[in-house]
């Protein structure tokens, strides 16, 4: 899976290290995060730190964290009403590794979702099962929209075809109008949802390693790109529109003067990553 790591490294290039991540290396574990350090200088600085919500808006959930998730609860409380950035770092857990249980997830995800109106970034790195549980949680009938969400990154690290039970969830009640970055690795969604099909603020789109039956149709893919008028970065790695080139056309709607098969002009794209043998020849022919 070295090629997947290379692609992932390119995708996350420029991302800052998660300050205070409990899953950090030994080298970084010896250095406490700034928020912890400043709150332990003296009582005065502790009071200053605790009364400054902006210091507590990054909420890491490392693989070793377990219910009742006291650190997560504390950060949610201290960040007050500010937008929050959540990083769930379960990664590719070894089968013999102690993984979060169903009981853990039944506490964690509702805890986070109760603040979904504050989500600015949600990044989940997980195996298939944990990703399934997350998608189920954010697709519940009572889950509201994510009005402040700008970054959605979902990485399913488990290469399996056992995805028949939950292929096309509807996330965030279908609405996350401020999204600027979407990364979906092996994550199957309903491509007609407004948060992806009508993402007018989208500047960065990355799709990777989708099973053939989970690729968006050409009509869906075309709708996504046409709706992303300010797109600057497009990454496709073994993903993209389904079917062969002859199927890449859309039946016009009677009475609609719009040319739905006109060339898609991505005039603002400056970074195009393509790792898909099926698409390369066709894309390189487009001028």
pLDDT digits (tens, 9 = 90+) for 83-129: 999 999 997 666 546 789 999 999 999 999 999 999 999 999 999 98
Rounded CA separation 237/282 (Å) = 15
pLDDT, average across residues 258-270: 83
Q: Please answer whether residues 16 and 24 qualify as being in contact, where contact means their C-beta atoms are separated by less than 8 angstroms.
A: no
- Dmax over CA atoms of the chain, in Å, equals 72
Query: What is the model's pLDDT at position 61?
Result: 96
Q: Please answer whether residues 90 and 125 qualify as being in contact, where contact means their C-beta atoms are separated by less than 8 angstroms.
A: yes
Nearest one of 229, 121, 216 to 176, comparing CA atoms:
121
Residues 6 or more apart in contact with residue 1 via CB below 8 angstroms: 159
Rounded CA separation 7/15 (Å) = 14
What's the predicted TM-score (pTM) here? 0.81
- Hey, what domains does the chain have and what are their CATH numbers? 20-51 (no CATH), 57-246+265-284 (3.80.10)
By CB atoms closer than 10 A (0-12, 13-18, 19+), residue 237 is buried
Helix axes 102-113, 70-78, angle to 10 degrees: 0
Residue 271 scores a pLDDT above 80: yes
């Amino acid at each position: 899976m070295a090629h997947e790591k290379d692609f992932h490294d390119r995708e996350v290039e420029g991302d800052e290290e998660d300050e205070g991540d409990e899953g950090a290396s030994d080298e970084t574990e010896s250095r406490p995060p700034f928020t912890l350090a400043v709150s332990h200088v003296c009582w005065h600085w502790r009071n200053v730190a605790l009364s400054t919500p902006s210091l507590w808006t990054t909420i890491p959930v490392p693989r070793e964290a377990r219910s009742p998730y006291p650190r997560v609860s504390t950060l949610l409380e201290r960040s007050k009403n500010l937008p929050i950035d959540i990083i769930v770092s379960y990664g590719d857990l070894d089968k013999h590794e102690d993984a979060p249980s169903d009981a853990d997830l039944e506490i964690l995800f509702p805890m986070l979702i109760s603040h979904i109106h504050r989500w600015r970034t949600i990044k989940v790195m997980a195996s298939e099962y944990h990703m399934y549980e997350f998608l189920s949680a954010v697709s519940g009938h009572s889950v509201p929209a994510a009005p402040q969400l700008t970054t959605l990154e979902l990485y399913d690290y488990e290469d399996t075809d056992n995805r028949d039970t939950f292929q096309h969830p509807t996330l965030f009640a279908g609405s996350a109008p401020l999204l600027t970055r979407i990364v979906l690795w092996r994550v199957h969604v309903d491509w007609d949802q407004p948060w992806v099909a009508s993402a007018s603020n989208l500047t960065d789109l990355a799709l990777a390693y989708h099973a053939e039956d989970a690729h968006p149709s050409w009509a869906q893919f075309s709708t996504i790109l046409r709706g992303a008028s300010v797109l600057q970065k497009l990454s496709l790695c073994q993903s993209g529109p389904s079917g062969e080139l002859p199927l890449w056309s859309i039946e016009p709607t009677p009475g609609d003067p719009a040319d739905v098969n006109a060339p898609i002009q991505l005039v603002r794209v400056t970074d195009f990553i393509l790792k898909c043998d099926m698409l390369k020849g066709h894309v390189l022919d487009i001028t």
